Structure 1
Amino acid sequence: MTTPALVLVAHGTRSTRGVEMIAALAEAVAAELGAPARGSAEVAPAVRTAFVDVLGPSPSEVLRDLHSDAEVVPAVVVPAFLASGYHVYQDVPREVGESSHPAVVVTPAMGPDPALARIMALRLRAAGWRPGDAVVFAAAGSSDARARHDVRRAAAMLTDHLGVPVRIAYVATGAPRVPEVVADLRDSGAERVFIASYLLAQGLFQQRLHDAGADGVAEPIGVHPAVVRLIADRYRTATRELAQARLAS
């Protein structure tokens, strides 16, 4: 079977730094998957990026590029989302359907995952957080109940990793909002309040966190070896599914 391509699907942003971060993540994943074990006959996959909003190319455009009358390159679509809401459950399947690509596997979204909680803890400590400081778990937010459930799971993972409770707040959609929770924690007696960013990349939402009145704001999850391994593992699992489906047919 032709080595499946990996299509990394992100939300999209007008932030140059955010777009560059997605490109850097794709490059890191390509490097991770481009080093098969010694003696292996595996061929490194092509890694492409696509976006469901704000900018292109769209997933359907990328998938159409991967098949023609002469050749069909199987594809693994990895949603680079930290929670599974409308974009994961509606946009991505719709884009796959519109592409008419005959050999696509869509993996689970990136988050929630314990690896992301470990990265968030590292980012918090780098921002100056110390045990005893209050923590606000800041997510973009969603009107989709499934996405909010994922955020609660992710916050529980961070709580387990830090050993202290965290308060969930939202940047854009949903309540309570981040500034409200920061203020509430101060009113409750917290001397120092830090924001743990459950965002993937730099952009408008991350900037809003810096205006929320906290003592420190962690960087977004960004490009980290654990994120790269997480995406690579999603891809490897999906390629096995594609191979099994081919054998079954």
Structure 2
Amino acid sequence: MSDSNLGSRDPELVLVAHGTRNPRGVQVIGALAEAVSERVGRTRVAFVDVLGPSPSEVLRRRETPTVVLPAFLASGYHVRVDVPREVADSGHPDVTVTPALGPSPALAGVQFDRLRAAGWRPGDDVVLVAAGSSDPRALADVRAAAAVLSDLIGRPVEIGYVTTAAPRVPEVVARIRARGARRVLLAPYLLAPGLFHDRLREAGADAVADPLGVHPGLVDLVVRRYTDAVRVPARVR
């Protein structure tokens, strides 16, 4: 089934994001949902923290089959615990939960586009920047994402975290500089702009790429997650 064949008979889609007080971050999630809705039908947004509505609140308002897509770049606590709990609390009779967005080669492709737009040149050192997590499975997902990006640029990619995990971004940049790097670029493994991305301007790199944002590659990935769920549902009841 191609997304061009999707219609009103198919399940609704709910994008579940973390939530942020930064209006730019909220706007990106809304714009992503709007872009996806043009291909799969109306797409709603829910948040597991900071903002509302919560996934359970959104799901309680409808009885039609629904696909819930965790818009997270790694499968940490929110993906493994919060989202299933919210689905269960909603009492909705027919929900399919997809895998998280990342890690995925599609996201690495988006990062590479953002790096090139920021002035990346072959030979530049690159640091993949993630928000950070105390969940070892989420950190493993970040390492997998860095490995895929490394394959794309043809050089090792180091990892720096903004919070929670180590090493922190400025430490990684300083270490790379100390070994003689000429240029260091940061590749944010972040969905939207906000406080975390703003902090990167002071990390000592030569350039900071944009977050993933509403890139066609990300929209394609969301649509693919949805269509895969519709083809082979793994429902939470």
Are the aligned partners of 1:169 and 1:175 in contact in 2 as well (CA < 8 Å)? yes
SS at match of 1:202: coil
1:12 alignment counterpart? 19
Matches of 2:79 and 2:175 in 1, distance apart? 33
Distance 1:224 1:146 in 2: 26
- Given candidates 159, 164, 171, the residue that maps to 2:150 is 159
- The structure 2 residue matched to 1:207, chosen from 198, 201, 218, is 198
The 5 A counterparts of 1:16-31 are 16-31=23-38
SS in 1 for 2:46: strand
Taking the TM superposition and a 5 Å limit, the aligned residue runs for 1:190-205 are: 190-205=181-196
Structure 1: gaps spanning 5 or more residues: 34-44, 67-71
Alpha-carbon distance, 1:19 to partner: 0.4
2:10 is the counterpart of 1:3: yes
Q: Do residues 55 (structure 1) and 51 (structure 2) align?
A: yes
What is the Cα deviation at residue 228 of structure 1? 0.7
Query: What amino acid does structure 1 have at the position aligned with 2:126?
Result: V
Larger gyration radius, structure 1 or structure 2: 1
Rounded to whole Å, the distance in 2 between the matches of 1:91 and 1:152 is 23
Offset at residue 238 of structure 1 (A):
1.1
Please give the TM-score of this superposition, normalised by the length of structure 2.
Answer: 0.93
Measure the CA separation in 1 of the matches of 2:119 and 2:232.
Answer: 43
Question: Aligned ranges for residues 127-206 of structure 1 at < 5 Å?
Answer: 127-206=118-197
Report the count of equivalent residues.
228
| Equivalence map 1:196-235=2 (5 Å) | 196-235=187-226
Give 1:77 deviation, angstroms: 0.3
Q: Pairwise CA RMSD of aligned residues? A: 1.3
Distance 2:42 2:64 in 1: 10
Q: Is the 8 A contact 1:182 1:213 kept in 2?
A: yes
Residue matched to 2:60: 64
Q: 1:117 aligns with which of 108, 125, 133?
A: 108
Distance in 2 of aligned mates of 1:126 and 1:30: 27
In structure 2, list runs of 5 or more residues that go unmatched.
1-7
TM-score (norm 1): 0.89
Residue identity opposite 1:78 in structure 2 = L
Q: Give the letter for the 2:82 counterpart.
A: D
Give every structure 1 segment of 4 or more consecutive aligned residues whose post-TM-superposition deviation is greater than 2 Å: none
SS at match of 2:110: helix
Question: Residue 22 of structure 2 aligns to which amino acid in structure 1?
Answer: S
